[in-house]
Structure 1
């Protein structure tokens, strides 16, 4: 059998025209997955290609539409637990690895939303002023490195003050 696009080992669809129900098996090549959600979508696309499932076939075998599968597999919408389980059943694979990735994705998305919300709460207020600590310079213009402990202590004080201001702001917004 000739190897088709993306190394799937297929040369065409059921009708012999080279079509598989989708225009092409997009995303089968191992793209750079940087977040848990991207890893989940990449793994689901890999399984979809390996099992030669089109979005239409997924829609026929599950309770989700063709467009839902397109959104899930192209990272436009995070799939539900039920969708991942139905996907695994349709593909004939174990759902547990996909469900673990889904749980990591949900945790990552929740943390990202919380961080964004905290940033928005603080952003609307006056900016926090950070004092500038002068660094002693040598005659050559390079910084004097004889007092690193003092600089570390000053940095810790400034950082501690910033943490205090941010935690008070977070408590007030609750």
Structure 2
């Protein structure tokens, strides 16, 4: 008998069956060949064998029921800590799961990098991307880029806060 997402004994058309191993979920796309899909499938298999519900996983770990549903249905890649806690809750060796997680992270990183490469006019060649941010035409000043600009803004705000706090401390002491 197939067990539904919350151990109800019912399944919907999108949850698949335990007997065939077929699963279709919003994050899977029906593809079980990716390392992430293999990790999720193995975690679901262990969950089924050990008869752990999402609620039991939540009780035995620092993650909620909804987090486990996302991890095991391939809606969100679990963290290393989540995989370790899952293995501890299920009483299994975390090694094979962590290996699959590392492969999943490498695969996701490679997929994102490939998707981020802009394509040139000829179709297959990468377009040339400037290494230095372009100057802002409206101000004539070079752009610092978002991360550096945020750091600079944080330093200014932090410096101002320190000044105000020092002044208030001096006034309290009567200096």
Task: Specify if TM > 0.5.
Answer: yes
- Please tell me the root mean square deviation across aligned C-alpha atoms, in Å: 2.7
Alignment counterpart, residue 169 of structure 1, candidates 128, 139, 151? 128
Matching residue of 2:140: none
Unaligned runs of 5+ in 1: 9-18, 130-161
Question: Given the alignment of the two structures, is residue 128 of structure 1 paired with residue 125 of structure 2, yes or no?
Answer: no
1:169 and 1:79 map into 2 onto residues whose CA distance is: 35
**Alpha-carbon distance in structure 2 between the residues aligned to 1:37 and 1:173:** 32
The aligned residue for residue 87 of structure 1 is 86
Question: Aligned to 2:62, what secondary structure does the other structure show?
Answer: coil
User: CA shift at 1:22, angstroms?
Assistant: 2.5
Deviation at 1:21, TM superposition (A): 5.4
Give CA deviations for 1:62-89 in whole Å, capped at 9, x if unaligned.
Answer: 0000000000000000000000000000
Match of 2:58 in 1: 59
Q: Would you identify which runs of 4 or more consecutive aligned residues in structure 1 move more than 3 Å?
A: 24-29
Aligned to 2:157: none
**Residue 77 (structure 2) aligns with:** 78
Counterpart-to-counterpart distance in 2, 1:81 and 1:22? 25
TM-score, length-normalised on structure 2? 0.59
Query: What TM-score does the superposition give when structure 1 sets the normalisation length?
Result: 0.60
Deviation per CA, 1:24-72, whole angstroms, max 9, x where unpaired? 4855342362100000000000000000000000000000000000000
**What are the ranges of 5 or more consecutive residues in structure 2 without an aligned counterpart?**
23-30, 133-175
How many Å separate the matches in 2 of 1:74 and 1:61? 19
- 1:169 match: secondary structure: coil
Which whole-Å deviations, capped at 9, do the CAs of 1:93-134 have from their partners, x for residues lacking one?
00000000000000000000000000xx22xx5x217xxxxx
Which is helix-richer, 1 or 2? 1
- 2:39 equivalent to 1:40: yes
CA distance in 1, matches of 2:94, 2:60: 15
Q: How do 1:13-28 and structure 2 match up within 5 A?
A: 22-24=7-9, 28=18
Q: 1:111 and 1:47, CA in 2 relative to 1: closer, same or farther beyond 3 A?
A: same
